[in-house]
Chains A and B, each alone.
Chain A
């Protein structure tokens, strides 16, 4: 089975570079240049994994991930974030959203492909794609507890939340 990956990236050159890499690795790839198209393409194509830029016009990658996860058919679909920004807190924000990976640009293509492969392998091992038994939410009292719960998961996919 060929996995489908949605790349959400506003820079057309980086989107093309990711497409070349992912296609060469045997994946079906579709790209969306902004937040609005990303959600409609996710709904239409139901990708197995989403690679997202964070800073984009029309809504950042975190919002896109939330909107995609709000689609019933896309519950628990793993997201991997890539960003050129060094703003503090982005990595933690991605972790809180249950990201399967977080990469700073320029990213290491080998590490990115390895993370994608491991994440998709974990999904396949967990059950049929699209009917994952992985919990969508982890409820914890504190951020540390939530992080511990998350790291105990076989993959970084579920969204997490904790009581303030």
Chain B
């Protein structure tokens, strides 16, 4: 919709005749009528966009529900068979069904990322911060990828500074950020490499805790660093193909950290590895001016 006004009536200046004054008045009245009409159209467009936004949100929720229900049944029956509730399995059968179960989990993660990305786009991603020990969150996230790291031959370690205060965070959301960063690190680190999660207090920023995930992977080229948190951006492999994934993880992670009033950034050297870091508020030291959108 065109919204610019390309004509604004100019005063004829003094002295002016009655005719000039009336012509100016007529132009001014017409100008205001056009302005009012344009405002009405803009408001209408705005309402329409809000309506479509709500419809889109609703569609994604229905889509998620309709896809997750059969996915749950598939995953659960595979788990039932894997757990031996439907008879004894051979090792090969167990291995193949394990692949099916892992694939179901990947689809679930993708669906959740799609929903979260929609929430980010519509400003509806929210958090419910509570005092939380960071070592608990880190341990949960590390446990979530420990098996995959072991299978790939990657050493996974956590270094948590002693006597850290609790963080004021939405535990599930920050765990989601950590799992995202750890999964990326795992994806881009070759066998024999190392991934380290660190949590520490930063003397320069006493109201915050700093969390970082470092890997010894292939690193990110400087040209890609500026886009790494963009929606749908995917780092390319050396053969110019993408590594997989939807390109939503870092985009959502950035928004989650921002909602906590923190920052997220990356440092990387090609051939040596990358370090993704983010900050979260300490419980009791949070700046009251930081606005948090709560659930």
Cross-chain contact of A84 among B65, B77, B79, B83 (Cβ < 8 A):
B65
- Closest chain-A Cβ to B98's Cβ sits at a distance in Å of 15
Digitize B255-282: 1 where CB-to-A-CB distance is under 8 Å, 0 elsewhere. Answer: 0000000000000000000000000000
Cross-chain contact of A106 among B61, B72, B80 (Cβ < 8 A):
B72
- Closest chain-A Cβ to B69's Cβ sits at a distance in Å of 5
| CA–CA, A13 and B80, complex, Å | 13
- Closest chain-A Cβ to B229's Cβ sits at a distance in Å of 23
Residues of A within 8 A of B68 (CB): 84, 105-106
Q: Given A88-B124, A88-B126, are A106 and B76 neighbors across the interface (CB < 8 Å)?
A: yes
Nearest A residue to B75 via CB reads A106
The answer to whether A85 and B295 have CB atoms under 8 Å apart is no
- A44 interfacial by beta-carbon distance below 8 Å: no
Cross-chain contact of B61 among A14, A24, A86, A105 (Cβ < 8 A):
A86
Residues of A within 8 A of B108 (CB): 106
Cross-chain contact of B112 among A14, A21, A86, A92 (Cβ < 8 A):
A86
- Closest chain-A Cβ to B168's Cβ sits at a distance in Å of 14
- B207 interfacial by beta-carbon distance below 8 Å: no
- B104 interfacial by beta-carbon distance below 8 Å: yes
- B97 interfacial by beta-carbon distance below 8 Å: no
- B5 interfacial by beta-carbon distance below 8 Å: no
- B184 interfacial by beta-carbon distance below 8 Å: no
The answer to whether B71 and A106 have CB atoms under 8 Å apart is yes
- A36 interfacial by beta-carbon distance below 8 Å: no
Digitize B127-156: 1 where CB-to-A-CB distance is under 8 Å, 0 elsewhere. Answer: 010000000000000000000000000000
Most buried by B among A87, A105, A109: A105
Residues of A within 8 A of B76 (CB): 14, 17-18, 21, 106-107, 109
Nearest A residue to B125 via CB reads A88
| CA–CA, A23 and B170, complex, Å | 36
Most buried by A among B65, B76, B112, B295: B76
| CA–CA, A139 and B193, complex, Å | 55
Q: Given A17-B80, A20-B80, are A89 and B71 neighbors across the interface (CB < 8 Å)?
A: no
The answer to whether A14 and B80 have CB atoms under 8 Å apart is no
The answer to whether B85 and A24 have CB atoms under 8 Å apart is yes
Please classify how large the interface on chain A is, using the bins under 10, 10 to 19, 20 to 34, 35 or more.
Answer: 20 to 34
Residues of A within 8 A of B79 (CB): 109
- B120 interfacial by beta-carbon distance below 8 Å: no
- Closest chain-B Cβ to A105's Cβ sits at a distance in Å of 4
The A-contacting residues of B in range 72-94, CB under 8 angstroms, are 72-73, 75-77, 79-80, 83, 85
Residues of A within 8 A of B158 (CB): none
Q: Given A87-B61, A88-B126, are A105 and B77 neighbors across the interface (CB < 8 Å)?
A: no
Nearest B residue to A105 via CB reads B72
Q: Given A11-B69, A106-B68, are A86 and B75 neighbors across the interface (CB < 8 Å)?
A: no
| CA–CA, A20 and B78, complex, Å | 12
Residues of B within 8 A of A85 (CB): 61, 64-65
| CA–CA, A86 and B63, complex, Å | 11
- B115 interfacial by beta-carbon distance below 8 Å: yes
- Closest chain-A Cβ to B294's Cβ sits at a distance in Å of 11
- Closest chain-A Cβ to B56's Cβ sits at a distance in Å of 14
Nearest B residue to A89 via CB reads B295
The answer to whether B72 and A86 have CB atoms under 8 Å apart is no
Residues of A within 8 A of B72 (CB): 11, 14, 17, 84, 105-107
Q: Given A13-B73, A84-B69, A85-B64, are A92 and B295 neighbors across the interface (CB < 8 Å)?
A: yes
Residues of A within 8 A of B105 (CB): 106
- A29 interfacial by beta-carbon distance below 8 Å: no
- A161 interfacial by beta-carbon distance below 8 Å: no
- Mind listing 16 A-B residue pairs with CB under 8 Å? A11-B69, A14-B73, A17-B80, A24-B85, A84-B65, A84-B68, A84-B69, A85-B61, A85-B65, A87-B61, A88-B126, A89-B295, A92-B295, A105-B68, A106-B105, A106-B108
Residues of A within 8 A of B (CB): 11, 13-14, 17-18, 20-21, 24, 55, 84-89, 92, 105-107, 109
Residues of B within 8 A of A (CB): 61, 64-65, 68-73, 75-77, 79-80, 83, 85, 104-105, 108, 112, 115, 124, 126, 128, 295
